[in-house]
Amino acid sequence: MTTMDTPSIFFSTYFGVPREQLDGYGAFDLNLLADVELFVDPFLLFNSVNPEYQELHENILRYLRYLKSLAHEPLSDATIRDLFRFQEVSQNWFGYTKIGNRGAGLGTDFARALRSTIGRVVANEGESFGTESSHLEKVSLITGKVGLDKISDFTTNLIKDYLVTYTETFAREHLDPSLCADIAVTRIRFNYETETWMTEVRYLPVFGDDYVLLTPTDILVHQDTWINHRDMVSRYPEIAAAVDDDVLRDKVDRYFYSALKDSKKKAEETAIRTTTLATFPELIDVYIRLKEEAGDGAVAVSDEELARLRGIFVELFSQLLQEFWSLPEMEHRPPIDSFDEAKRRCDVFKKWVEDKDGWRTLNTARGRASEADVQRLIYLTLQASDFDVNREVNNGRGPVDLKVSRGSRDTSLIEVKLASNSHLARNLERQVEIYKKANETKNAVKLIVFYDALEQAKVERILKAQELTESDWVVLVDARDDNKPSASVA
């Protein structure tokens, strides 16, 4: 790879289409380096004026009703795995995976939660829980252990046929045929006559050894689904006040205030709210009804978060493509061991931040890049490396950020930390040594980013106290915005 051969990080650059074309189609420009923290919210399907989306939501309920019909039947473990558990649809490149797109999917815990609550999650046709519709998100309200990623994974699996068609249409109209192929897509649709999942061959864009799926931005959220457990607990007073049945409302109030007593700790009140909601399941339906009535706000939240994520994951990486890969250090790669490789990559990143205005990308009015964001950027600096690079290798003592290796005898670690991290001192003292032993390596590089003078003073004080000031395995990155000369002065 030369300085001109920058990696094709985005769907638009890899497949050679203008980003404006994707925007016009309504699809998010995927980051093919790592998942973006976006999720499909089934409420946006339910609440949409788009008849296709409404039909998708009804199809989700149809499958839930089918599962409900099996609730009292003895099912083998294999059947439960087939019907209640799903692999993550990694081809849409959404989720929490920091590097790559391989998430955990819907495992045993989700299957058990769904099976145990299915009778309360979905009403039979013609029945009602006092809400306008049933909602998959109710699983998370009942158990409190099912997050938005699981709700999104389940929803994505059940609308997979739509996403495949959505992507296939774009591919046939806009993409070079050499970048597409006929792919056998498994579990694309459930056949209710044979009670089996079907496989179909479809024409789709291909990246690496897998196909890629586009997703409409108007069904995506970032922070949480519109209906979620945290929101329900925070809105408990409103929910209790909205109970129509005065007898039930009195029971709820007596239970809650009896448990609350003289407690003044917010954490205790939160726990009591959670217990009250679990004791009176009717309150969950009151909450859902309130969310349905305020449903127009769901789209506004989605648009706001999408704009913020575009700034982080699109604009940030675009700037890297323009500036970072033009550094001459990226072109010259003499034979070195893994530690020198890891150290040099961190030094190149440091130079990009401090001397090439990379700090403007990390430290903006919209916020500062998180540790996860910086980790992804360090991973980007290793894309031209001849070494093997793995993300968050967990060998028994916790994850490290990156493992750079060439065979088992030449291995080094890179760990990224922000100076604001409250555990930085303890981490420097213990963590790297632990990781060295666990990964059977003698080399590790610690990259620490600070954003202001106080953070700089903090990290310098810690390094001095631990006699690490001159350590070659510690790389400090100055991302301050108040100590850089202006372009005219420079």
Res 334 pLDDT > 70: no
Q: CB–CB of 292/240 below 8 Å?
A: no
Q: Which pLDDT score, from 0 to 100, does residue 114 have?
A: 76
More confident of the two residues 121 and 89: 89
Q: Starting from the edge strand earliest in sequence, which strands make up the sheet with 210-211, in order? A: 180-191, 196-207, 210-211
pLDDT in tens, 289-303: 888 888 888 775 567
pLDDT band at 2 (very low <50, low <70, confident <90, very high): very low
More confident of the two residues 265 and 390: 390
pLDDT in tens, 452-487: 999 999 999 999 888 777 777 889 999 998 887 654
Res 167 pLDDT > 90: yes
Q: Can you spell out the DSSP letters for 4-39?
A: T-----BHHHHHT--HHHHHHHTB---BSSB-BS-E
Last residue of some domain: 168, 196, 226?
226
Pair (457, 438) in one structural domain: yes
131 inside domain: yes
Q: How many residues does the chain have?
A: 490
Bridge partners for 363 per DSSP: 368
490 inside domain: no
Res 305 pLDDT > 80: no
Q: Which pLDDT score, from 0 to 100, does residue 154 have?
A: 85
Pair (155, 177) in one structural domain: yes
Res 148 pLDDT > 70: yes
Work out the average pLDDT over 103-124.
68
Pair (199, 236) in one structural domain: no
For the record, the structure tokens of 179 come out as 């970048």
- Average pLDDT score over the chain: 79
Pair (125, 217) in one structural domain: yes
Res 98 pLDDT > 60: no
Share of the chain above pLDDT 70, in %: 77
Among candidate residues 220, 288, 175, 172, the one with its CA nearest the CA of residue 39: 220
First to last CA, the chain: 31
Q: How far apart are CA 192 and CA 147, in angstroms?
A: 28
Q: CB–CB of 111/84 below 8 Å?
A: yes
Q: How far apart are CA 269 and CA 265, in angstroms?
A: 6
Pair (266, 335) in one structural domain: no
Q: Which pLDDT score, from 0 to 100, does residue 488 have?
A: 44
What is the greatest pairwise CA distance in the chain? 79
Pair (191, 278) in one structural domain: no
* pTM listed for this prediction: 0.69
Q: CB–CB of 45/293 below 8 Å?
A: no
258 inside domain: yes
Pair (387, 461) in one structural domain: yes
Res 253 pLDDT > 50: yes
Pair (45, 148) in one structural domain: yes
- Across 123-137, 382-396, 475-489, which has the greatest mean pLDDT? 475-489
> 410 φ, ψ to 5°?
-130, 90
Q: CB–CB of 217/92 below 8 Å?
A: no
pLDDT in tens, 191-246: 999 999 999 999 999 998 899 999 998 888 877 778 888 888 888 899 888 888 88
Res 109 pLDDT > 60: yes
Res 398 pLDDT > 60: no
Share of the chain above pLDDT 90, in %: 21
Q: Which pLDDT score, from 0 to 100, does residue 255 have?
A: 85
173 inside domain: yes
Last residue of some domain: 200, 226, 252?
226
304 inside domain: no
The total domain count for the chain is 3
Work out the average pLDDT over 173-197.
94
Which structural domain range is residue 242 located in?
Answer: 229-293
pLDDT in tens, 6-55: 456 789 989 999 989 998 999 988 878 767 778 888 888 888 889 999 99
Q: What does each C-alpha distance from 51 to 47, 69, 347 come to in angstroms?
A: 10, 27, 53
208 inside domain: yes
430 inside domain: yes
Res 101 pLDDT > 80: no
pLDDT in tens, 49-82: 899 999 999 998 888 888 888 877 887 878 877 8
pLDDT band at 189 (very low <50, low <70, confident <90, very high): very high
Pair (21, 114) in one structural domain: yes
18 inside domain: yes
Last residue of some domain: 226, 246, 271?
226
Pair (247, 277) in one structural domain: yes
Pair (281, 413) in one structural domain: no
Give the CATH number for residue 346: 3.40.1350
Pair (444, 373) in one structural domain: yes
Q: Which pLDDT score, from 0 to 100, does residue 21 have?
A: 93
